[in-house]
């Protein structure tokens, strides 16, 4: 019965963890480029004190399903149609993101909403000429980004957005809700299959109805394990009392 109590406890911990994942997904429902997490269970068999013990281990995986592309008309909003990621330099670290809501700072650097630098093939994307063109051409500064990420200002090529592909998506690690990281050896410098769509951003791929259904299911399963654990505890207590009479 002790093993049964332990089994119930492990199950409750898994459903509690699943509920945390679901709650985080729902909290980021409106976060641009957010990728939902999914929890799955893996059976692990190991030897303990000469016995073969099978345990269920919760594993977390990032869903890379494409989110809906939302039009904004903003010159510096970009969405990726495909499996690539923007490269962002933040606090000296290289980060990957699907959130393409960018802006030019006062020095002409392209940045994201966290202040990170958007990287191009030549390093940090720097377009101070955009402001010069706005000043000297009565606001007629046409900044266009082609499908392959090539950046043109009034038909002059300046740089190309660095859109990388991860060779093994399962190696992605989440860094907060905005960034991902992956081993450099798995990064393809430029993803030829992903396309950049200017004037759009990618919405999070959270499926609200599915997440709500998961939340209800997790709660019901957790409560079922609670009841089963209570029953097991009562049986163990009864057995102990019975044995105490002899």
Alpha-carbon radius of gyration of the chain:
25
Asked whether residue 194 falls in the same domain as residue 219, the answer is no
Co-location of 112 and 132 in the same domain: yes
Residues 245 and 173: their CA atoms lie apart, in Å, by 57
Residues 42 and 59 in one domain: yes
- 95 and 21, same structural domain? no
Q: Say how many domains are in the chain.
A: 2
Q: 226: part of which helix (H) or strand (E)?
A: helix 208-244
| CA 158 centroid distance within chain | 30
CB 87 within 8 A of CB 123: no
In the chain, the largest separation of any two C-alpha atoms, in whole Å, equals 100
Structural domain of 36: 2-63+207-244
Predicted TM-score (pTM) of this structure? 0.79
Same domain? 111 vs 82: yes
Task: Indicate if 138 and 171 belong to the same structural domain.
Answer: yes
Residue 44 has pLDDT above 80, yes or no: no
Could you tell me if 157 and 74 lie in one domain? yes
| Number of neighbouring beta carbons within 10 Å of residue 56 | 13
List, for residues 49-101, the tens digit of each pLDDT value: 666 666 667 678 899 999 999 999 999 999 999 999 999 999 889 999 999 99
Task: Please report where in the chains the tokens 């119930």 appear, as a residue.
Answer: 8
Residues 143 and 191 both lie in one domain = yes
The string of pLDDT tens digits covering residues 21-30 is 999 999 999 9
36/89 same-domain check: no
Residues 189 and 119 in one domain: yes
């Amino acid at each position: 019965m002790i093993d049964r109590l332990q089994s119930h406890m492990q199950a409750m911990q898994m459903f509690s963890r699943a509920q945390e994942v679901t709650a985080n997904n729902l909290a980021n429902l409106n976060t641009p480029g957010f990728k939902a997490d999914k929890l799955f269970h893996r059976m692990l068999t190991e030897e303990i004190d000469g016995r073969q013990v099978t345990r269920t281990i919760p594993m977390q995986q990032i869903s890379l399903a494409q989110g809906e592309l939302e039009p904004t008309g903003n010159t510096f909003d970009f969405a990726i149609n495909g499996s690539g990621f923007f490269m962002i330099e933040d606090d000296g670290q290289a980060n990957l993101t699907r959130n393409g809501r960018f802006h030019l700072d006062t020095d002409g650097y392209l940045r994201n909403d966290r202040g990170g630098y958007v990287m191009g093939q030549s390093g940090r994307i720097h377009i101070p000429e955009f402001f010069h063109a706005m000043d000297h051409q009565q606001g007629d500064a046409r900044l266009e980004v082609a499908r392959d990420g090539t950046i043109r200002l009034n038909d002059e090529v300046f740089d190309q957005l660095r859109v990388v592909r991860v060779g093994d998506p399962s190696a992605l690690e989440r860094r907060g809700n905005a960034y991902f990281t992956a081993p450099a050896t798995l990064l393809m410098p430029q993803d030829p299959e992903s396309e950049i769509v200017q004037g759009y951003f990618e919405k999070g791929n959270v499926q609200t109805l599915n997440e709500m259904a998961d939340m209800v299911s997790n709660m019901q399963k957790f409560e079922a394990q609670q009841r089963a654990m209570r029953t097991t505890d009562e049986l163990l207590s009864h057995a102990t009392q019975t044995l105490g009479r002899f």
